[in-house]
């Protein structure tokens, strides 16, 4: 009986073009748009050396310490600056053309010239402040207590870090990923449309087909479970197709934990299905209202999870962190995020645990409503 209901239900669902569009085609199209708009913004977040011009004049040539300091930050694998030693005119021309972030040593004193303030300029300023402070301190010590110079030089060589850097993960940062993860969460939650359909087709007071189903000599919950399994298979297959599309067509990185990514998607699909069933069971009005509620809930969840702007997620985190834990879309997004960024799985399991709690809640309420087999009115 299970096979009979399952296969026929599968046929019904696969031939439903509207739900297929919303649960598969729409996320893929949205993914393409995200890819177009986000690739350039978050294309490469690895640090690139900042191009800087240095005016090659008498001040510069006489200041060996400055030259040494510049050399130490503009050579090697981890260099901060790419230096261009040039005349004052050439340096100004490079700055005007935005080919350099700033000019160090503008010709008279060791200072800097920039034409706007930004991230690179802040680094440049920070380097210069540090150099000027250190050179000032060294000059002061040498003039007041030359004997202490030797001791200071030894201390400088023997600097100790009192903090320890522990890597939280090996993944390279990429702000665009969160948007794609939100999109996967949305696609999972769109499984609610399948769940909604299943309850509509089993509750005799909701559809004619359901009334007929309630007359057959098969337990109602057996039919519901078989049908819901078919819906789950379709929903999960859609998500796997979507994940493959993101990974292999749009090159979205999920990190090395593929098994966990699939597990998260599976939990996401069950959350979506159970949520749709829950809404369909508790809302007695027409299908339009149920669809509206499912859409509104999912999209609100997406917005609060940072689908439109990461600032919204940050604001929620700062002002109402409880919402993060009550929002299934965010729990799913954060699960993918945790898998990608963090070596530890504690945050991931917390999210999955909360999602399972939601599933249990949705399923329990749905069961309590649909187990009823006689109706007050039809």
> What's the rounded Cα separation, in Å, for the pair 68 and 51?
18
Told to check if 376 binds other proteins by CB under 8 A, we report yes
Give residue 312's Cα distance to chain centre: 13
CB of 233 to other proteins, least distance (A): 16
The CB-of-206 to other proteins minimum distance in angstroms stands at: 12
Q: Site map for other proteins, 63-82, x if CB under 8 A?
A: --------------------
For residues 171 to 210, the per-residue mask of contacts with other proteins, x marking binding by CB under 8 A and - elsewhere, is: ---------------------------------x--xxx-
| 289 forms part of the interface with other proteins (CB under 8 A) | no
Cβ contacts of 269 within 8 Å, gap of 6 or more: 188, 191, 232, 235, 236, 239
The dihedral through the CA atoms of 6, 7, 10, 12 has a sign that is negative
28 in Cβ contact with 245 (< 8 Å): yes
Annotate each residue in 206-225 with x if it binds other proteins (CB under 8 A) or - if it does not, as one string: -xxx-xxxxxxxxxx--x--
Q: What is the DSSP letter of 40?
A: T
Nearer to other proteins, 34 or 194 (CB): 194
Pick one of 150, 165, 319, 377: the residue that binds other proteins (CB under 8 A). Answer: 377
The neighbour count for residue 22, using CB atoms within 10 Å, is 15
Task: Specify the residue, 155 or 209, whose C-beta has the smaller distance to other proteins.
Answer: 209
**Three-class DSSP category at 353:** helix
User: Does 133 sit near other proteins (CB under 8 A)?
Assistant: no
- Chain positions 8 to 37 lying near other proteins, rule: CB under 8 A, are 8, 11-16
Nearer to other proteins, 73 or 196 (CB): 196
Taking the CA atoms of the chain, what radius of gyration do you get in angstroms?
A: 31
Nearer to other proteins among residue 138 and residue 233 (C-beta): 233
Is 151 or 219 the residue whose CB approaches other proteins more closely?
Answer: 219
Task: Report the C-alpha gap between 289 and 237 in whole angstroms.
Answer: 27
Of 6-14, 43-51, 80-88, 354-362: span binding other proteins (CB under 8 A): 6-14
Query: Binder to other proteins among 5, 38, 302, 355 (CB under 8 A)?
Result: 5
Cβ 373 to other proteins shortest distance, Å: 4
373 binds other proteins, rule: CB under 8 A: yes
| CA distances from residue 142 to 68, 153, 158 in whole angstroms, order as listed | 19, 11, 19
**Angle (deg, nearest 10), helices 220-244 and 176-189:** 160
| 369 lies in the site for other proteins, by CB under 8 A | no
Q: Which structure tokens are listed for 13?
A: 């669902």
Of residues 223 through 282, those in contact with other proteins by CB under 8 A are: 223
> Checking DSSP bridges between strand 81-86 and strand 50-55, what pairing results, if any?
parallel
What tokens appear for 140 in the block?
């002061």
- Residue 282 belongs to what H/E stretch? helix 258-282
Closest CB 228 distance from other proteins, rounded Å: 16
Q: Is 317 in the site for other proteins (CB under 8 A)?
A: no
Please, what is the minimum distance in Å from the beta carbon of residue 377 to other proteins? 6
Q: Residue 317, Cα to own-chain centre: how many angstroms?
A: 14
Binding stretches for other proteins (CB under 8 A)? 1, 4-5, 8, 11-16, 204, 207-209, 211-220, 223, 373-378
């Amino acid at each position: 009986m299970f096979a009979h209901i399952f296969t026929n239900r599968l046929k019904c669902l696969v031939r439903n073009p509207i739900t297929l569009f919303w649960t598969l085609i729409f996320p893929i199209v949205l993914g393409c748009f995200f890819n177009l708009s986000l690739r350039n913004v978050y294309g490469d977040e690895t640090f690139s050396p900042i191009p800087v011009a240095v005016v090659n004049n008498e001040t510069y040539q006489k200041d060996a310490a400055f030259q040494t300091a510049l050399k130490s930050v503009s050579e090697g694998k981890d260099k901060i600056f790419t230096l261009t030693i040039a005349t004052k005119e050439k340096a100004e021309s490079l700055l005007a053309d935005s080919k350099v972030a700033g000019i160090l040593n503008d010709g008279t004193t060791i200072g800097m010239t920039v034409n706007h303030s930004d991230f690179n300029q802040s680094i440049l300023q920070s380097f210069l402040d540090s150099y000027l402070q250190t050179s000032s301190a060294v000059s002061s010590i040498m003039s007041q207590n030359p004997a202490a110079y030797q001791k200071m030089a030894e201390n400088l060589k023997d600097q100790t870090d009192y903090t320890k850097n522990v890597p939280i993960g090996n993944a390279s940062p990429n702000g665009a990923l969160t948007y794609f993860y939100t999109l996967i969460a949305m696609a999972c939650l769109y499984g609610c449309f399948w769940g909604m359909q299943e309850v509509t087709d089993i509750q005799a007071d909701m559809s004619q087909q359901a009334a007929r189903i309630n007359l057959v000599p098969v337990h109602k919950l057996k039919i519901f479970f078989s049908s819901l399994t078919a819906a789950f298979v379709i929903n999960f297959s859609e998500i796997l197709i979507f994940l493959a599309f993101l990974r292999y067509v749009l090159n979205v990185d999920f990190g090395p934990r593929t098994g966990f990514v699939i597990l998260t998607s599976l939990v996401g699909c069950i959350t979506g299905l159970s949520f749709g069933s829950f809404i369909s069971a508790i809302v007695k009005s027409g299908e339009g209202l149920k669809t509206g509620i499912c859409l509104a809930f999912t999209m609100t969840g997406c917005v609060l999870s940072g689908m439109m702007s990461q600032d919204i997620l940050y604001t929620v985190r700062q002002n109402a962190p409880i919402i993060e834990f009550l929002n299934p879309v965010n729990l799913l997004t954060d699960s993918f995020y945790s898998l990608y960024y963090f070596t530890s799985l504690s945050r991931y399991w917390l999210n999955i645990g909360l999602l399972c709690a939601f599933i249990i809640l949705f399923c329990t309420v749905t069961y309590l409503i649909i187990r009823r087999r006689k109706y007050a009115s039809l």
